[in-house]
Structure 1
Amino acid sequence: MTSPKPHNTAMTNSKLWGGRFSEATDKLVEEFNASVSFDQRLAAYDIRGSIAHAGMLAAQGIITVDEAEAIQQGLEGILEDVLAGNFEWRVDREDVHMNVEAVLRERIGSVAGKLHTARSRNDQVATDFRLFVFDAALELASSLRELRGVFIAQAEQYLDAEVILPGYTHLQVAQPILLSHWFLAYAEMLERDESRFRDAAERMDECPLGAGALAGTPWPIDRFQTARALGFSRPTRNSLDSVGSRDFALEFLSACSIAMAHLSRLSEELVLYSTFEFGFLTLPDAFTTGSSIMPQKKNPDVSELTRGKAGRVFGDLVALLTVVKGTPLAYNKDLQEDKEPVFDAYDTLRVVLRLHTEMMPRATWNADRMLAAAQRGYSTATDLADLLARSGVPFREAHEVVGTLVGKCVREGRQLWDLTSEELAGAHPNLANVTPDQLTVQASVASRTVYGGTAPSAVRELLGRAKRRLELL
């Protein structure tokens, strides 16, 4: 009978953390546990963090300057390979951190093991991820600003011509507005979206590195130096919170979701307005598609996909909320599920913003069709009620009088400005002097001079303010 071989943990488990284990990791567990398939996207941030950490360790006398330089040179070589697409990512090394560290050890020897002094993968990944989300937030803020500029430019383009669009409530014609007013409404939404990302970036401007696994470290490190080296304003204040919280990612996903909700609302209008029935808008051919069977079709796929992908981004937010809601302090493996929702939301919103920035200036608006729609929908009925109220009649009474006149016009296929002076006076004596020109959509728009209103003078004022805010930064 053959004698059993002596127990050798190095042979049974070759992981960097394998000293405590007597069995190799099950293959399926290894695949299930690994995150390198997606967190390799953090490689550049991981290497930046490691270089900053090594420099701090040397400055504190924890490792030598020569050791820090060897580590830095090795990491820079790895980064070159990563950026060139020549780095081999291995599932058996689990994640981006251990892949980089293992290759660093292959290239510079055992000194690579000193890099992990006074840190944990917990504070390492929290730092990498925060760096990514910080950059992503500022990038999306800039993209939102660019799209906002497109809407402001469109508002200015159509203001001089005073192009009129029917405004809707409940998708029923309500009151006429300037098309420029419509553009500026979305510019306002985009401005708030941008501010949410910038606010979120300011709150996440803290460096977790040095928090260790959860309790800090007994090593005499300088967390402020590391934070500065990585471009953070300050280190995080609590080691448990540093490694166990992902609210910065939740806030990012919330900002993504709200922005996508706004873009979905826009898309819904673009889909409607580009239909034959509305005919307000012609989308550029380059941003539409055709049908495989119906030759006449021109489908607004960009808008429809944007509308659909909004739900996907909302799902990313809900997914991460669900992950973190039951995790006790501090780090739990559940938090490995934080990255894919963020990556997905970022990728989705980034391309949607790019598409709309390029598509919107090339869309063609049909002023005649919009004006005709505004004129057909009795959109100046409120103006008639206001005229009556200004003569001293209580508005609720004026509302009922005008509602009766609208019903009469509907039954007879007429417009309010078709009513004779006798018919108006018959509805109420105070309407006897109302003239048809007071009931046109142009007169309605021009009358709404209140701050934030749709009158050309009000829109021009707010356009100027919007342009000035766009120039600030």
Structure 2
Amino acid sequence: MRGPGRFDQPLDPLVAAFNASIGFDRELLPYDLAGSRAHVRMLTKVGLVTPQEGELLLGGLDRIEQEWQEGQFNPGVDQEDIHSAVENHLTQQLGAVGKKLHTARSRNDQVATDLRLYTLDHSGRIIGHLTTLMGVLLALAQKHVETLIPAYTHLQRAQPVSLAHHWLAYFEMFDRDRARLTDCIERMNILPLGSGALAGTTLPIDRAYTAALLGFRAPCENSLDGVSDRDFVVELLSALSLIMAHLSRLSEELILWSSREFGFIQLTDRCATGSSLMPQKKNPDVPELIRGKSGRVYGHLMGMLTVLKSLPLAYNKDLQEDKEPLFDTVRTVETCLEIMTLFLTEGFTLDTARLAQAVEEDYSNATDAADYLVRKGLPFREAYYIVGALVRSSLANGKLLKDLSLREWQTFHPLFEADIYEAISPKQVVSARNSYGGTGFAQVREALARAQARLG
């Protein structure tokens, strides 16, 4: 910010445009006004402005907010940033009284406060979006406890599981995301205002009062750290990057499931697009875009870490680069959470017949054949090799395990009896995995009840 006291030549227009943040930090206006209102009330309390001046300042801030909402307050590059724009506009309205708004504060502690108010607000909103998405996943799981789906390792069919168990795996991921954001909120909920430019102020301010007015749990302990700390931005970007990782993993599975090779889901017209050339195509653009946007969010995290990596104390103009990546990340994550919620709700239909077929057409019940022998006293590793040889033989003869005759089973070991067919049936394979946290139907129903309690 420049004034006639120190400078006698105008700023070069190119430098002015390069230096200004008004093009993007206007997103902070509601938080800047909230911080200014609290600051005015504190100044009034300690006697740095009179009650009458305080009322004039608060009324002026309310008018600026109304003008903003009505599209009448549109500051340009000449205002440099939203904080200066508010102060200048207030001074135009109130004259000398408007100049008292900036008493006992700097733009350094002001923007740090605005940014924390922004991150606190949007962290809460994102927790709300996560909770809604988790509710959709839980509803899907409740409908499909006994629907079976092949589960994979190395993208090779491994063992059948309850589809509810699969949905609940993503429920767990997003629940961890909620916990991470809650943890971030604890550390970002600290008030920098009152730190001044870097060293505090000589004026008799009451920082605890300002913190209470704005809902912060405490003022920051160190003024140098207060104006220069952006750890909370990095933490939030990191937590949001993990949300995007989880959304991207879910997107990848939905993309695979919608392909003809898998055929587990059919895309609805509501959430799919077509090809400009191939009339038969129905493309999963929604999950593909979510998957692609994860890279955008990761890039913002790395960019912010790079900005911070060699900054000396205290405030440096480099920190102006914290806002655009933060704002874009928050918008991207909020949009992706909303669109994934929509996609899970009405973007596809499940092909249950194809799923039922899929769990019958492979060797994912081989482990259960080995466990069958273990229950009859055979050491697991010995049972493992016996069933491995049995699978190799079955592949050579073009048969599935369920199609082998009892004599063929007993060729590999006499402990195999007629009940082997029930033991390797898909429903039994899933139902039998009744260890805590497993895919057994009883365990899944208990997990659903626990998940419902956590969601509530």
Q: TM-score, normalised by structure 1?
A: 0.94
Partner of 2:84: 98
Whether 1:44 aligns to 2:22 is: no
- Residue 461 of structure 1 is matched in structure 2 by 446
Say which is worse superposed, 268-277 or 280-289, in terms of deviation.
280-289
The residue that corresponds to 1:165 in the other structure is: 149
**8 Å contact from structure 2 (residues 372, 420) kept in 1:** no
Match status 1:391 vs 2:388: no
Distance 1:115 1:395 in 2: 76
The CA deviation string for residues 61-104 of structure 1, in whole angstroms up to 9 with x for no partner, is 11111111111111110111112222121102110011111111
* Stretches of 4+ aligned residues off by more than 6 angstroms: none
Match of 1:226 among 199, 205, 210: 210
Q: Does 1:216 align with 2:197?
A: no
* Structure 2 equivalent of residue 409 of structure 1: 394
Q: Which amino acid aligns with 1:20?
A: R
Q: Deviations over 1:388-420 (max 9, x none)?
A: 122222211211111111111112111111112
2:15 counterpart of 1:29: yes
Q: What SS does the corresponding residue of 2:263 show, helix, strand or coil?
A: coil
Paired position in structure 2 for 1:75: 61
In structure 2, C-alpha distance between the alignment counterparts of 1:144 and 1:253, rounded to whole Å: 16
In the other structure, the counterpart of 1:237 is 221
Q: 2:420 matched to 1:435?
A: yes
Change (3 A) 1:33 1:304: same
User: Between Structure 1 and Structure 2, how many residues are aligned?
Assistant: 455
Q: Which amino acid aligns with 1:292?
A: S
Aligned to 1:374: 359
State the partner residue of 1:115: 101
Give the secondary structure class of the aligned counterpart of 1:430.
coil
Whole-angstrom distance in 1 between the partners of 2:46 and 2:350? 65
Q: CA deviation at 1:52?
A: 1.0
SS of the equivalent of 2:360 reads helix
Q: Which amino acid in 2 is paired with 1:123?
A: D
Q: Does the CA contact (< 8 Å) of 1:253 and 1:317 recur in 2? A: yes
2-structure distance, mates of 1:151, 1:238: 44
Residue by residue, what CA displacement relative to the aligned partner does 1:395-446 show, whole Å, maximum 9, x if unpaired?
1121111111111111211111111222212112222455312211111001
**Which amino acid letter does the alignment assign opposite residue 460 of structure 1?**
R
Shift of 1:276: 1.2
Partner secondary structure for residue 20 of structure 1: coil
User: Corresponding residue for 1:6?
Assistant: none
Distance 1:442 1:151 in 2: 22
Q: Is the 8 A contact 1:422 1:432 kept in 2?
A: no
Q: Deviations over 1:18-58 (max 9, x none)?
A: 42123211111111110000001101111111111111111
Aligned-partner residue type, residue 388 of structure 1: L
Find out whether 1:446 has 2:452 as its counterpart: no
Letter in 2 for 1:201: I
Query: Please, which of 286, 289, 293 is the counterpart of residue 277 of structure 2?
Result: 293
Q: Distance in 1 between matches of 2:239 and 2:102?
A: 34
Preserved contact between residue 369 and residue 420 of structure 2 (Cα < 8 Å):
no
Measured against aligned partners, the alpha-carbon deviations of 1:282-324 in whole angstroms (never above 9, x if no partner) come to 2221111111111111100000000000010111111111111
**2:303 is equivalent to residue 319 of structure 1:** yes
Which of 38, 44, 48 is the aligned partner of 1:62? 48
**Mean alpha-carbon deviation: is it higher for 367-376 or for 134-143?**
367-376
1:337 aligns with 2:334: no
In the other structure, the counterpart of 2:127 is 141
Q: Structure 2, unaligned stretches of length 5 or more? A: none
Query: For residues 30 and 84 of structure 1, what CA distance do their matches in structure 2 show?
Result: 27
**Match among 219, 227, 231 for residue 247 of structure 1:** 231
The percent identity for this pair of structures is 50
Mapped pair 1:271 → 2:255: yes
- Cα gap change, 1:276 to 1:332, in 2 (>3 Å): same
Once residues 439 and 88 of structure 1 are traced to their aligned partners in structure 2, the CA distance between those partners, rounded to angstroms, is 70
Deviates more, 1:365-374 or 1:342-351: 365-374
- For 1:254, give the aligned amino acid: S
- Unaligned residue ranges in structure 1 (runs of 5+): 1-14
